[in-house]
Structure 1
Amino acid sequence: MARKTPGRLIVVSNRVALPHQTAAGGLASALRAALAENGGLWFGWSGKVSAAETGAELHQASDHGIDYATVDFSRADHDAFYAGFSNGALWPLLHYRPDLVDYQRSHLDGYLRVNRTFAERLRPLIGPDDTIWVHDYHLIPLAAMLRKLGVKNRIGFFLHTPLPAAGLLIALPNHHELLETLASYDLIGVHTHRDLRALEDYFLHEAGAVMRLGGRMRMPGGREFRAGAFPISIDTEHIAGIAQKAVGLKEIVQLRESTRGIALIIGVDRLDYSKGLPHRFQGYARLLERDPELHRHVTFMQIAPPSRGAVLEYRAIRRELERSAGHINGKYAAPDWVPIRYINKSFPHRLLAGYYRSARVGLVTPLRDGMNLVAKEYVACQDPEDPGVLVLSRFAGVALELGDALLVNPADTEEVADALEQALHMPLTERRRRWKAMMRVLRHNDITHWRTSFLEALRAPGKPAPDQP
């Protein structure tokens, strides 16, 4: 492995963006940049399921001064840790869907077992001056397990999902056993002040913590930790440059030719029940029903790559969307016009950037979302001279930053239809004004600002977590 240097950064996540992987996105690029600053290690799951026990072998590699260490999962641990507890119980709970929580004690046992294995395999790789940054709900108890193994380093945690109110969190059986382990981190990062209030409320009223000066929380046993809002973002200028270059790509030219004289509405989401796609389709259908003059003058392209196809709820939502798209097209389509282009596959980022730039309206309406970077990417990809309009769910974390979008309740089909109509008829001067205001935010709060502000707070003992917008 590459040489260890004092004060390295160690990133731990469920999945690792290994060298030469072409699918790595903005978050992976940001973490690699942080790791490259003074040498670092990225540790996590290899993405492979093995016949051996979880962590039986440690796979190691190095590239451009960054070390990578991964472990395989056994089939049983993959099913319990990943498919079972992480995505069957925690994901729906964190996205305000307790009705979809599938809690099984055996899944929790597998979740804790994998986190324990991560801690045991990571422990020998940690130097005395290293800083550890753990990511997301898969690894909530990792710091507590590292502390039991004698690790005294600074350890931070960032939650990439929303965090619901304490009244929902306590619906999880054995919530104390899991959630109170977050106190073993030195700094907990969430996207928004709404999430931060939920975290503080849980620890103050359910875990018996008290608030200290500087925003520190003190547990009954004396352990102190900090929490702060760190809204994740994108590489704004890089994405804007990609979009500008994409205009001449063959696929983008073909799209524009096929929508000549037609306003394009675009949505890009993983196929997930948290994204509000059935409600989105209903809102668009209501727009067509109310305003027949828009027929043949607007089309909605929804890109929704499948995810977690083995989970029943995901198969069900795919069938529902296919029926809905077929119904809308069957009701409103003409021989020379299709109202909805529903696409179940992914596209390279350079093409998505071109699609965003070609769309008059970006439709981003999740029922709940930690942040939602599609909204930010849509804004960054726009032509400054002729920008499109963002229609955005007020329940996405990004809505607290991009107030110049048209904010909607995604469950209100009339409100969504109203916003679409307003966006399609918005004058150029207003479109430019709104776009410029949102771009100012994105240029200031970009992905570099996110990672540097978190790491500065983590590495500064006793310093209050920043009060970011």
Structure 2
Amino acid sequence: MEFNTLSRLIVISNRVQPPGAASSGAQGGLSVALAAALREYTGFWFGWSGESTEQFTGHINFERDDGVTTATIDLEDQDIEEYYNGYANRTLWPLFHDRVDLAEYERGFAGGYQRVNERFAETLRPLVEPDDAIWVQDYHLFPLGSELRKLGCENRIGLFLHIPWPARRVLSSLPMAEELVSTLFAYDVIGFHTDEWRDSFTEYVTQQLGAVLNDEGDISLGGRTIRAITCPIGIDTKEFVAMSQSETAKLSYRQMRESANNREMIVGVDRLDYSKGLEERFLGYERFLVEHPEERKEVFLLQIAPPSRETVETYQNIRTALEGLSGRINGAYADIDWVPIRYVNQGYRRDVLAGIYRAAKIGLVTPLRDGMNLVAKEYVAAQDPEDPGVLILSRFAGAAIQLKDAVLINPYSAEEMADAIASALRMDKPERIRRWRLLMDSVEKEDVVWWRQTFVDALMTDDRSDDSVDIAVVE
């Protein structure tokens, strides 16, 4: 099967980055990656605007900015509560991050999730042309491919999962799990960050649903065959390196160095979420202060943690816990001219962060479970090649598979984290340069261009005829 040269790539995600965010430096890693893909190919980016409406009408707001066309819809308050705050963030997110204890199962959540996916499909379907390829992003939209098929969509449709896929026993605790996972066979290609996540998916569908895995690695169920691939996302490395050398980044770097007052800085940048291991990080850092009293006043931890999903109770709880923990540690160890933890609850532009990363002796990236984690890659990309910092990285981040030359740790172990911080502070320059060069090689080789091309190549190849598919590239 061949697509003609007018074929388009349609990207679909829960939220669509507002036009103009690219120039402001306010985009997150996924938004940057998707916007970059759409500058390469014709097409558009479809999803929720982030705004509410009293009654869903299906009205689409089209905008074009910085080479990217977006098509957004507003959702009703009930949709937002049940689909987004409910099923996506209080059911699927904790479950897929192994927090069964935090997962909430309510029929209303599941009903809202299905309803919004149907609304996405019904609104999008008239915009889809016969030769378009459709690329769906993440767990919010698992049933979307199936809903598009019901409406007669025969296009190539792919799904990329940006979070981990849980073990079979964990996923089995989800009511109607088999029905939900069965809808994924409406896709042609499903992408995962790591072999572990892909293999967990394969185990579930073969052992639980009776799907058949063939010698080529394709999986068949109910007359449909899908390809599951490992395709870890990267950053726009060239862009981020250039950003780290921008005037804004240089100013940010100078401000941090002056503020450090000849002390070494450890930096953590994470969305405020229980999966990021922030409580464990604070405790590991406290263990370091206890075991290395000579380092007190010589180092400090800057933790940037912008709030997210603030209407969800578990996120309110993590914020309260971290405020209490940072206050206790500062109260116990601070001096009149030194505070061990600078805890900041707001976000910063990416060019500002690039300067902060470059000023930090240690990048502390310690999630308890993470699909990838692009902060680790951004920290590496921002470093001075002549005098780079040290990346301390959780073994349970997807990024650890690629960034093997970081100092890898178990984030649950305060002892291991404390030892890693001490080791990183003592590490000599030749060793830091050696490790950084190997890390940077990975960040440069498997960047966002590699990621999107790898996935799109798989999506645009129909094995039924073994023909490659061409997409018109925007010059």
**TM norm. shorter chain > 0.5:** yes
What TM-score results when the alignment is normalised by the length of structure 2? 0.94
| More divergent stretch after superposition (39-48 vs 134-143) | 39-48
Residue 72 of structure 1 is matched in structure 2 by: 74
1:403 aligned onto 2:391: no
In 1, the alpha carbon distance for the partners of 2:246 and 2:147 equals 47
What residue identity is the alignment partner of 1:120? E
Unaligned runs of 5+ in 1: none
In 2, the alpha carbon distance for the partners of 1:66 and 1:95 equals 32
Equivalent residues in 2 for 1:180-191 (5 A)? 180-191=182-193
1:256 aligned onto 2:257: yes
Residue 89 of structure 2 is matched in structure 1 by: 87
Per the TM alignment, residue 310 of structure 1 is displaced from its structure 2 partner at its CA by 1.1
Q: Confirm or deny: 8 A CA contact 1:5 1:39 kept in the other structure.
A: no
How many aligned residue pairs are there?
460
Q: Confirm or deny: 8 A CA contact 1:306 1:345 kept in the other structure.
A: yes
In 2, the alpha carbon distance for the partners of 1:304 and 1:38 equals 34
Equivalent residues in 2 for 1:405-444 (5 A)? 405-444=406-445
User: Could you say what secondary structure the match of 2:219 adopts?
Assistant: strand
In 2, the alpha carbon distance for the partners of 1:381 and 1:68 equals 30
1:217 aligned onto 2:222: no
Q: Confirm or deny: 8 A CA contact 1:154 1:458 kept in the other structure.
A: yes
What residue identity is the alignment partner of 2:75? F
What TM-score results when the alignment is normalised by the length of structure 1? 0.95
Residue 100 of structure 1 is matched in structure 2 by: 102
Per the TM alignment, residue 60 of structure 1 is displaced from its structure 2 partner at its CA by 2.4
Residue 125 of structure 2 is matched in structure 1 by: 123
Residue 326 of structure 1 is matched in structure 2 by: 327
Q: Structure 1 residues 121, 249: closer, same or farther in 2, change over 3 A?
A: same
Query: Percent of pairs identical after alignment?
Result: 51
Q: Structure 1 residues 62, 389: closer, same or farther in 2, change over 3 A?
A: closer
Per the TM alignment, residue 32 of structure 1 is displaced from its structure 2 partner at its CA by 2.7
User: Could you say what secondary structure the match of 1:6 adopts?
Assistant: coil
Equivalent residues in 2 for 1:164-243 (5 A)? 164-219=166-221, 221-243=222-244
What residue identity is the alignment partner of 1:430? E
Per the TM alignment, residue 34 of structure 1 is displaced from its structure 2 partner at its CA by 2.5
User: Could you say what secondary structure the match of 1:362 adopts?
Assistant: strand
Per the TM alignment, residue 261 of structure 1 is displaced from its structure 2 partner at its CA by 2.2
**Aligned to 1:39, which of 16, 20, 42?**
42
User: Could you say what secondary structure the match of 1:214 adopts?
Assistant: coil
Q: Structure 1 residues 63, 324: closer, same or farther in 2, change over 3 A?
A: closer
In 2, the alpha carbon distance for the partners of 1:249 and 1:325 equals 29
Residue 155 of structure 2 is matched in structure 1 by: 153
In 2, the alpha carbon distance for the partners of 1:413 and 1:306 equals 24
Q: Structure 1 residues 379, 64: closer, same or farther in 2, change over 3 A?
A: closer
Per the TM alignment, residue 319 of structure 1 is displaced from its structure 2 partner at its CA by 1.1
What residue identity is the alignment partner of 1:179? V
Per the TM alignment, residue 64 of structure 1 is displaced from its structure 2 partner at its CA by 6.3
Per the TM alignment, residue 114 of structure 1 is displaced from its structure 2 partner at its CA by 0.5
Q: Confirm or deny: 8 A CA contact 2:58 2:123 kept in the other structure.
A: no
| More divergent stretch after superposition (329-338 vs 55-64) | 55-64
What residue identity is the alignment partner of 1:9? L
Q: Confirm or deny: 8 A CA contact 1:60 1:69 kept in the other structure.
A: yes
Q: Structure 1 residues 448, 430: closer, same or farther in 2, change over 3 A?
A: same
Q: Structure 1 residues 184, 323: closer, same or farther in 2, change over 3 A?
A: same
Per the TM alignment, residue 164 of structure 1 is displaced from its structure 2 partner at its CA by 1.2
Q: Structure 1 residues 83, 136: closer, same or farther in 2, change over 3 A?
A: same
Q: Over aligned residues, Cα RMSD in angstroms? A: 1.8
Q: Structure 1 residues 276, 217: closer, same or farther in 2, change over 3 A?
A: same
In 2, the alpha carbon distance for the partners of 1:260 and 1:68 equals 45
1:11 aligned onto 2:11: yes
1:20 aligned onto 2:20: yes
In 1, the alpha carbon distance for the partners of 2:354 and 2:270 equals 14
Residue 450 of structure 2 is matched in structure 1 by: 449
Q: Structure 1 residues 57, 148: closer, same or farther in 2, change over 3 A?
A: same
Q: Confirm or deny: 8 A CA contact 1:216 1:464 kept in the other structure.
A: no
In 2, the alpha carbon distance for the partners of 1:203 and 1:184 equals 14
What residue identity is the alignment partner of 2:165? L
Residue 387 of structure 1 is matched in structure 2 by: 388
User: Could you say what secondary structure the match of 2:98 adopts?
Assistant: coil
User: Could you say what secondary structure the match of 1:345 adopts?
Assistant: coil
Per the TM alignment, residue 62 of structure 1 is displaced from its structure 2 partner at its CA by 3.8
In 2, the alpha carbon distance for the partners of 1:38 and 1:161 equals 25
**Aligned to 2:32, which of 29, 34, 44?**
29
Per the TM alignment, residue 246 of structure 1 is displaced from its structure 2 partner at its CA by 5.0
Per the TM alignment, residue 29 of structure 1 is displaced from its structure 2 partner at its CA by 3.3
Per the TM alignment, residue 6 of structure 1 is displaced from its structure 2 partner at its CA by 2.4
In 1, the alpha carbon distance for the partners of 2:161 and 2:311 equals 25
1:77-117 Cα offsets, whole Å, 9 max, x none, are: 11000001010100001111011001101110110010001
What residue identity is the alignment partner of 1:30? A
Residue 115 of structure 2 is matched in structure 1 by: 113
In 2, the alpha carbon distance for the partners of 1:415 and 1:449 equals 34
Per the TM alignment, residue 249 of structure 1 is displaced from its structure 2 partner at its CA by 4.0
Unaligned runs of 5+ in 2: 469-475
Q: Confirm or deny: 8 A CA contact 2:88 2:113 kept in the other structure.
A: yes
| More divergent stretch after superposition (253-262 vs 160-169) | 253-262
In 2, the alpha carbon distance for the partners of 1:79 and 1:317 equals 20
| More divergent stretch after superposition (247-256 vs 362-371) | 247-256
Per the TM alignment, residue 247 of structure 1 is displaced from its structure 2 partner at its CA by 7.7
In 2, the alpha carbon distance for the partners of 1:157 and 1:250 equals 40
**Aligned to 2:55, which of 52, 55, 63?**
52
1:118-163 Cα offsets, whole Å, 9 max, x none, are: 1111111100000000001000000001111111000000001111
| More divergent stretch after superposition (454-463 vs 291-300) | 454-463
In 2, the alpha carbon distance for the partners of 1:57 and 1:120 equals 11
Q: Structure 1 residues 65, 306: closer, same or farther in 2, change over 3 A?
A: closer
Q: Structure 1 residues 311, 464: closer, same or farther in 2, change over 3 A?
A: farther
Q: Confirm or deny: 8 A CA contact 1:247 1:253 kept in the other structure.
A: no
What residue identity is the alignment partner of 1:436? R
Q: Structure 1 residues 156, 265: closer, same or farther in 2, change over 3 A?
A: same
